[in-house]
Structures are given as C-alpha cells and as structure tokens.
C-alpha cells in the first residue's frame, strides 16, 4: 500500500506560481532581446551591403579646373580667328542719315557725312555711331573750341565725308596704290577696312583705341593738321603721329586733347 502523498501548502503554491511567472517574464525578455539583436544585425548588414555597393561604384571623373573656374577659359578653346577682310567692295555707297547732334561749344561748324561701301559686310549704323561717339568725346577735336562737328545726310551741304572702304577701293579714293593705311584726300576721309577690322601689330592698346585714333587722325587732316612725330620715348603719341606705321617709342593715344583741355602734339614730320 502506497504511502499517502502530502498536499502542498497554500504558501508553497503561491511561491511556485510566482517562480513560474518570473520564468515566463525572463523568457519573454530574452526573446525580446534576441529579436532586437537580430534586427540590429540585419540593419548593419544591410548598411554594409549598401556601402559595399557604393564603394564598388566607379568614382566620377574629376572635372577640369579650367571649367570649374569662373574666370579661366577652357584650355582647349582655340584663339579667336581674325575677321575676314573683303579686299574689294562693290564701290557703291550707303550714307547715314543726317540730323546728328552738334558737338562742341564754340568754333566753326564743320558738317560731315558717313558712308559705308557695299559688299564689305559692315553695318552702316554701327560705323556711324562709332564716328559720332568719337566726335562727341570731350577729348576730341571740339575740346580746342576751334571746331564744332555735326553729321548731315547724303544730299546735304558738307565739309568732308568719312568713308569705310575696302583696301582696293581705298586706292581709288586716296589716289594711291597703298592698301595698308587709311588716308585723307581732299574732302574724303577714308578709313581702310583692313585697319578697321585688324588694327596693327604691337600697337599697345585695344581695337577700340585704335579705331578712335584712326578716326581722329584722318579727320584731323580734314581740319588742317599735318603729321607729327613722337616727342619723347614713353610719352603718349600725338594723335597726328602716323601710329599705324609704328609707335617709335611713344605710347598709344587716340585723342588730340587727352586731358580735355590742352592739345597734345609733337614736332612736325613723317615716318
């Protein structure tokens, strides 16, 4: 006959229940921690894979420093080609309209016309505006208060005409075989297209300065001025110096009155 088993007391039962509850909580916490660890590992592995893909991707090609610079042009950019010069135009002329402003405060009024030869691919309005700007400048011929200047039209009374002509037509207007320089012949002030577009080598200033010079120089002849020489090495060249033929030690200068008051000249003579 088996011995009769002893029933646990109520306190023992409560302790057993509490122990099982603790075990369940511990197991649940362990499961939660394990899930967090696994999830973290998965995230890190995913990040490693992404970085590995990034590392494997080819690096972008380095850009050229010249292209990145806002100042330096691309090193591969070719130099600008000189403009084409039409050697012989058609000998027909288009004249700028009259009604131009009178420039100068005192002196004899000299009326001039502006004409551009056909077939040389030059804009009449642009050339007439360039001449007008030179004559309106306070450093120009009107600064001496001997002359006033005003542009008139084709059929109006005038004192001289400023022509923009091809080199071959220049020889006709100037009665000379020279196709290099500009000239003044009678009331014809002739600007050689080749010099207007190309200037001269070693001038020491930009094309805008050379164009101002050639307009003032040839117009100066129409106003009664002859050629002058460089007065001293390093000084500004007189506007009546033949700067197209070389600077002879002087610096480029486009104006008869560089300071707006006193005429700047040199001894008479030609090169």
User: Could you read off the pLDDT tens digit of each residue along the chain, which spans 271 residues?
Assistant: 444 445 555 555 455 555 665 656 665 556 656 665 565 555 455 544 444 344 344 444 444 444 444 444 555 566 678 889 999 999 999 999 999 899 999 999 999 999 999 999 999 999 999 999 999 999 999 999 999 999 999 999 999 999 999 999 999 999 999 999 999 999 999 999 999 999 999 999 999 999 999 999 999 999 999 999 999 999 999 999 999 999 999 999 999 999 999 999 999 999 9
Structure-derived torsion over alpha carbons of residues 215, 217, 223, 226, reported in degrees to the nearest 10: -160
- If phi > 0 it is left, if psi is from -120 to 50 it is alpha, else beta; for residue 232 that is beta
Q: How many residues are present in the chain?
A: 271
Q: How many CA atoms lie within 13 A of 70 on its CB side?
A: 0
Strand partners, 149: 103, 110
Write down the CATH number for the domain with range 93-245: 3.40.390
Q: Which residues, 6 or more positions from 148, have their beta carbon under 8 angstroms from its beta carbon?
A: 102, 103, 104, 105, 106, 107, 108, 109, 110, 142
> How do the domains of the chain map onto residue ranges?
93-245
């Amino acid at each position: 006959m088996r011995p009769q088993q002893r029933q646990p007391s109520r306190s023992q039962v409560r302790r057993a229940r509490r122990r099982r509850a603790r075990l369940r909580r511990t197991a649940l916490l362990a499961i939660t921690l394990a899930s967090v660890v696994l999830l973290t590992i998965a995230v890190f592995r995913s990040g490693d894979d992404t970085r590995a893909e990034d590392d494997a991707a080819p690096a972008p090609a380095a850009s050229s420093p010249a292209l990145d610079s806002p100042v330096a042009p691309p090193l591969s950019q070719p130099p600008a080609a000189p403009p084409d010069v039409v050697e012989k135009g058609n000998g027909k002329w288009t004249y700028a309209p009259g009604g131009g402003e009178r420039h100068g405060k005192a002196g004899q009024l000299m009326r001039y016309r502006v004409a551009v030869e056909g077939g040389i691919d030059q804009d009449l309005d642009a050339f007439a505006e360039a001449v007008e700007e030179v004559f309106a400048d306070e450093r120009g011929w009107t600064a001496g208060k001997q002359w006033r200047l005003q542009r008139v039209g084709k059929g109006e009374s005038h004192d001289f005409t400023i022509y923009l002509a091809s080199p071959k037509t220049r020889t006709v207007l100037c009665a000379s075989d020279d196709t290099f320089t500009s000239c003044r012949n009678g009331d014809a002030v002739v600007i050689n297209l080749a010099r207007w577009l190309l200037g001269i080598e070693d001038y020491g200033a930009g094309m805008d300065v050379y164009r101002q010079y050639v307009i003032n120089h040839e117009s100066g002849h129409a106003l009664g001025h002859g050629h002058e020489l460089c007065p001293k090495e390093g000084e500004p060249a007189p506007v009546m110096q033949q700067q197209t033929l070389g600077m002879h030690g002087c610096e480029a200068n486009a104006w008869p009155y560089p300071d707006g008051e006193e005429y700047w000249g040199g001894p008479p003579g030609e090169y």
